[in-house]
Amino acid sequence: MIMDKSIEVVVLFLWFFSIAAFNFSLCSGDPKVVCTQRERQALLSFKKGLKDPSNRLSSWDGEEDCCTWIGVSCNNITGNVVGLHLGNPISYSDDEITGENEAYERSKLAGDINPSLLELKHLNYLDLSLNDFGGITIPDFLGFLRGLRYLNLTEAQFGGRIPHQLGNLSSLRYLSLKGDYNLYADDLGWLSHLSSLEYLDMSSVDLHKAVDWLQVVNTLPSLSELHLSSSSLDNIPPSLGYVNSTSLVVLDLSFNLFNCTIPNWLFNLNNSLLHLDLSDNFLQGQIPNAMNFKSLQFLDLSGNGNIEGRIPSSLWNLCNLRVLSLSVNNFRGEIGSARNLSGCIGKSLESLDLSSNQLTGHIPNWLGQLKSLKHLYLGVNSLYGPIPSSLGNMSSLTHLYLHHNELNGTLPESLGLLSELEELDIQSNSLGGIVTETHFAKLSKLKVMVMSWNSLVFKVNSVWIPPFQLEKIGMISCIMGPKFPSWIRKQKSLYSLNFFRAGISDTIPIWFWNLTSHISYISLADNQIHGEISNIRFESKIVDLSSNYFKGRLPCLSPNVTVLRLSRNLISGPLSPLLCKKIDEHKNLQILDLSENLLSGELPQCWMYLQSLSLLNLGSNNLFGKVPSSMGSLISLTSLQLHNNNFFGDLPMSLQNCTYLEFINLGENKLSGNIPSWMGEKTTNLGVLRLRSNEFSGNIPPQICHLTSLLVLDLANNRLSGAIPPCLNNISMMATRRSSDNDLLIRFYDFGHYEENLILVTKGRESEYKSILRFVRSMDLSNNNLSGVIPSEISSLSALSFLNLSQNHLNGKIPENIGGMTSLESLDFSRNHLSGEIPQSMSNLTFLAHLDLSYNNFSGKIPFSTQLQSFSALNYIGNPELCGAPLLINCTRNEESEGNTSVGDDEEESEITWFYLSMVPGFVVGFWGVFSVLLFKKNWRYAYFQFLEDKIEHIYVTSVLKLSWLKRKLKKNQVNE
Ligand SMILES: *[C@@H]1O[C@H](CO)[C@@H](O)[C@H](O)[C@H]1NC(C)=O
Ligand SMILES: *[C@@H]1O[C@H](CO)[C@@H](O)[C@H](O)[C@H]1NC(C)=O
Ligand SMILES: *[C@@H]1O[C@H](CO)[C@@H](O)[C@H](O)[C@H]1NC(C)=O
């Protein structure tokens, strides 16, 4: 029995043991492997060299098995460390408010790379991406990590020359040095040793010295992805003897400086290429019609500016193409007919971007067969004819952009079938006809609808409930009225609504004000909308109700409001209810335009509450009193317009705190005292100074001459005395024909812009200058008590277009060099005491369209030129000793009367033509600031067109976009920076 018992025990024991052993092997697989002491020490030393502000390596500590440390991976048999995954785990996302990303920044590792890393003999994976090594060079010794197969240094902030020792990493399959802007390579010979390399990304590394880049890349037989975007590459050979890189699948050479015709070999690389990106270079010439890649899925040649010719039909035969972008180039001719289509393209194409070219002809019907197409961008071309109704068949379409073309006809009802459509932009065409409910029948996903600048008439039933919830609607100059469109009442997702000049002639419904609390941008400007706004509280960021019949007292503003434009309405009462709110209430208000209303009373002393105010226009109201000293607290102010009111007294000294002022218009008041000398000392950015028709007295302070950016100086109709300061030639903006680079005259804000306008008396009459104001250079000192001579320095103001010194007491001669003022279009010296002969050089003033020298004491013969004789005799009258044509007084008996005395009425025509001629280059240069940024951000291009929707004319968009030489110039500059 005992025996039995002991056997039983042994059996039980064995059974137990086997179960336990079985369990053990079940639970932990192989016997537990731990990392070696040596490698653990190496990692600890490596950690010591690092700075780790977020302490994400806290597990790298103590006696623990280092294979369990965060970011460390080991071989599961030997326990050797094989991988270090130390890329920043926090992903970057811009904080909307601070523009920073604190968590991301904090979790960056920094410091040094300790050579102890070399102890990790089996390391094959090293990821240090998105850290911040502060510009140190990539350590040479990384080249000794012979087992390395994966090295990711993406945006790890290494700098300096890439060490050639990396060429020893002969097992490397994956290498990314992307985005380390301070890295450069002088040659890439070392790369050719990486014979296993499959993936290489050196985007944003400076490779402009690496002229051998292509030869080297061509020796890498396994390379399948090559990313060399923004690498300052400028040479690409026209031919490549033998192509070894037959495995290439992805080739990204975008944003480089290639400035040559498209090399043919690129289009015959191999059959496996799927992705070819050559966008944003300076490539020229035509796309070769013969292409070798049958599998291509992605082709981007956009933003080169000069790729030209027709769109080769071979492109339409790439059956696997999913994305085709040819935008911002010079493609001409028609998009093409369907005749040569293989019939397969429609199967795969998802995005087609042909925008910003010179394409003409009709939008082809066959596009309607592209059933997979989601994005169709044809904007900014010269396409004409109707929108084909076949587009209604594109059942996957989400984005349809046909803006800035010459499309005409009506909007096809079939568009109402595009049930996936989210964004529709057809602005700036010549579309007409009626838009009804049918056009939107199935558009339940529509979010963006922009139809501005057409002649479309929107006619829907007053009880219509649209199937969509719009976020943005732009209907500038479409007819939405006369009734206020009631269907928008149910649009609860709107953030932008633009009914500028939309033919609405109605009372504003009360519900509209409730709706606006969600809408960030509202424009109802230029309609005939009635309504009382006294008790309304505006919640939107931007409100433009200009040019309507709104009446009542000023409304309340929430702190959200940044732009309030109520000019040209019937708003009455004092300013104080709007302005004199608690501190912070208006802290975001930047643009306040209340001009041309019926506001009355004095200016309140509450300006200290508007710290952000940059533009204030109270012109043409019934305001009176002194300009309060608290206005000096508007330290952000760039534009101050108080013209055409009844303000009197001296300007407060405190205004000199407004040092950013660029635009001052205080004309047509009763302001008195001296013109403050601080204007030249403090407000040195001043571009427009208009004090016309006040009671200013004293001298013109010579400090005015410090205003080198001045475009317009209008001091006419005051009581100024003394001499004209000779230093006026220091106003360099009037002396050189450069374009004004400060954007004082046009202010862009989210979703729109504010254009300054100014009444100027030019050529003897008042004209309103708006968009062309930035090209004007005008000086008007007329109707004062100025005396002395006209300083000869004035003749160096060669950019000045309008000069008026009439009705003063000036004497002496016209400066001899007046002919140097070659831009003069209008010159008025009448009603002074000037004498002597009219200088011969005046005959150089070939743009002169208006001249008045009447009522002086000029003598002698009027110099002969086509210009001077074309003016009427009246312009010379009152100078008894003057003779010659066009006066009927002959200078000598034998001289025949020459010229004619009649003035052509085409004067006005030529004025306008000249202005537009001279403004094109100016505009382009000035506009460049905005445009340049956009060029570099592909994704912004479309946003930019939407932003242009507001008022900028079609002509600007097309001409600017197509001036590729400018683009080139700019890009070069950017690269050099
Ligand atoms: C050990 O690693 C190898 C290769 O890395 C892998 O295939 C295997 O599944 C791993 N074994 C265990 C038990 O994790
Ligand atoms: C390299 O690192 C970057 C940044 O962390 C990451 O986006 C990228 O996917 C990595 N590359 C690979 C192939 O893992
Ligand atoms: C292409 O590859 C072959 C074979 O691998 C090699 O002999 C030749 O030198 C390579 N050509 C170039 C241009 O690298």
Distance CA 97, CA 794 (A): 50
- Give the pLDDT confidence of 304-336 residue by residue, as tens digits: 988 999 988 788 778 889 999 999 999 999 987
Distance CA 197, CA 190 (A): 12
Q: Look at residue 457 and give its three-state secondary structure.
A: strand
Question: Quick check: 346 and 324 in contact, CB under 8 A?
Answer: no
CATH superfamily of 543-646: Ribonuclease Inhibitor (3.80.10.10)
Quick one: pLDDT at residue 528? 96
The conformation of residue 847, written as its DSSP 8-state character, comes to T
Is any atom of ligand 3 closer than 6 Å to the C-beta of 218? yes
Q: Starting from the CA of residue 179, give the closest ligand.
A: 2
Q: 827: Cβ–Cβ under 8 A, 6 or more apart, which residues? A: 803, 804, 821, 845, 848, 850, 851, 852
Residue with tokens 């001249």: 851
Structure tokens at 234: 């400028």
Is any atom of ligand 1 closer than 6 Å to the C-beta of 134? no
In 3D, which of 580, 591, 584, 581 has the Cα closest to residue 614? 591
Domain residue extents for the chain: 543-646, 662-893, 943-977
Buried/exposed code over 327-353 (b: 16+ C-beta within 10 A; e: otherwise): bbbbbeeebbeeeebeeebbebbbbbb
CA-nearest residue for atom 12, ligand 3, is 219
Quick one: pLDDT at residue 698? 95
**Do the strands 72-74 and 81-85 form a parallel or antiparallel pair, or are they unpaired?**
antiparallel
Q: 328: Cβ–Cβ under 8 A, 6 or more apart, which residues? A: 302, 303, 304, 305, 355, 356, 357, 941, 961
What is the whole-number distance in angstroms between the Cα of residue 300 and the centre of ligand 3? 29
Question: Quick check: 375 and 399 in contact, CB under 8 A?
Answer: yes
**Do the strands 298-300 and 323-325 form a parallel or antiparallel pair, or are they unpaired?**
parallel
Question: Quick check: 815 and 795 in contact, CB under 8 A?
Answer: yes
What is the whole-number distance in angstroms between the Cα of residue 245 and the centre of ligand 3? 9
The conformation of residue 52, written as its DSSP 8-state character, comes to -
Is any atom of ligand 1 closer than 6 Å to the C-beta of 76? yes
Give a three-class secondary structure readout of 634-676. Answer: CCCCCEEECCCCEEEECCCHHHHHCCCCCEEECCCCEEEEECC
CA-nearest residue for atom 14, ligand 2, is 152
Structure tokens at 933: 């940024």
Structure tokens at 315: 């492109």
Mean pLDDT by 10 residues, the chain (977 residues): 45 41 40 81 93 92 84 92 94 61 88 93 95 93 94 94 94 93 89 94 94 88 93 85 77 93 81 90 87 86 92 83 94 78 72 95 91 94 95 95 95 96 96 95 96 94 94 94 91 93 94 89 95 90 95 90 95 87 74 95 88 93 94 92 96 92 94 91 87 95 91 95 93 78 63 76 76 80 95 92 95 92 91 92 87 92 83 89 85 48 36 38 34 34 38 36 38 39
Which phi and psi (to 5°) does residue 37 adopt? -55, -40
Is any atom of ligand 3 closer than 6 Å to the C-beta of 245? no
Is any atom of ligand 1 closer than 6 Å to the C-beta of 517? no
Distance CA 263, CA 284 (A): 10
Question: Quick check: 344 and 316 in contact, CB under 8 A?
Answer: no
The DSSP secondary structure of 471-490, one letter per residue, reads SEEE-TTSB--SS--GGGGG
Ligand 2 neighbours, Cβ below 6 Å, are 87, 129-130, 152, 154, 174, 176
From 176, 199, 227, 250, give the residue whose CB has the most ligand 2 atoms within 8 Å, as the site to mutate.
Answer: 176
List % helix, strand, coil for the chain (3-state, nearest 5).
25, 20, 55
The conformation of residue 20, written as its DSSP 8-state character, comes to H
Give the number of the atom of ligand 1 that is nearest the alpha carbon of residue 30. Answer: 13
Instruction: Please classify residue 791 by burial: count the beta carbons closer than 10 Å to its beta carbon, then call 0-12 exposed, 13-18 middle and 19+ buried.
Output: middle
Give the helix/strand (H/E) hosting 102: helix 102-106
What residues does 570 pair with on adjacent strands?
Answer: 551
Q: Starting from the CA of residue 79, give the closest ligand.
A: 1
Which phi and psi (to 5°) does residue 331 adopt? -65, 140
Q: Look at residue 577 and give its three-state secondary structure.
A: helix
Q: Which amino acid is at 828?
A: D
From 152, 172, 173, 175, give the residue whose CB has the most ligand 2 atoms within 8 Å, as the site to mutate.
Answer: 152
Distance CA 796, CA 799 (A): 9
Give the helix/strand (H/E) hosting 967: helix 964-976
Q: 284: Cβ–Cβ under 8 A, 6 or more apart, which residues? A: 259, 260, 261, 262, 304, 306, 307, 308
Is any atom of ligand 1 closer than 6 Å to the C-beta of 237? no
Is any atom of ligand 3 closer than 6 Å to the C-beta of 242? yes
Give the helix/strand (H/E) hosting 958: helix 954-962
Quick one: pLDDT at residue 26? 38
Which phi and psi (to 5°) does residue 679 adopt? -55, -40
Q: Is the peptide bond before 726 cis (omega within 30 degrees of 0)?
A: no
What is the whole-number distance in angstroms between the Cα of residue 197 and the centre of ligand 2? 16
Instruction: Please classify residue 71 by burial: count the beta carbons closer than 10 Å to its beta carbon, then call 0-12 exposed, 13-18 middle and 19+ buried.
Output: middle
Distance CA 350, CA 322 (A): 5
The number of angstroms, rounded, from the C-alpha of 712 to the middle of its chain's C-alpha atoms is: 27
Q: 787: Cβ–Cβ under 8 A, 6 or more apart, which residues? A: 721, 722, 723, 808, 809, 810, 811
- Give the pLDDT confidence of 13-48 residue by residue, as tens digits: 444 444 433 333 333 444 567 888 899 999 999 999
In 3D, which of 636, 642, 628 has the Cα closest to residue 661? 636
Q: Which amino acid is at 43?
A: L
Query: Taking the model in full, what pTM does it have?
Result: 0.79
Identical fold, 543-646 and 662-893:
yes
Q: How many other C-beta atoms are found inside a 10 Å radius of the C-beta of residue 226?
A: 21
What is the whole-number distance in angstroms between the Cα of residue 413 and the centre of ligand 2? 47
Question: Quick check: 473 and 498 in contact, CB under 8 A?
Answer: yes
Question: Quick check: 386 and 364 in contact, CB under 8 A?
Answer: no
Give the helix/strand (H/E) hosting 306: strand 306-309
CA-nearest residue for atom 1, ligand 3, is 244
The DSSP secondary structure of 883-895, one letter per residue, reads ESTTSS--SSSSS
CA-nearest residue for atom 7, ligand 1, is 76
| CATH match for 662-893 among 1.20.140.10, 3.80.10.10, 3.90.79.10, 3.40.720.10 | 3.80.10.10
Distance CA 547, CA 872 (A): 40
In 3D, which of 400, 394, 354, 410 has the Cα closest to residue 376? 400
Distance CA 557, CA 600 (A): 20
Question: Quick check: 773 and 835 in contact, CB under 8 A?
Answer: no
CA distances from 441 to 401, 419, 444, 475 (A): 19, 9, 8, 19
In 3D, which of 602, 597, 638 has the Cα closest to residue 619? 597
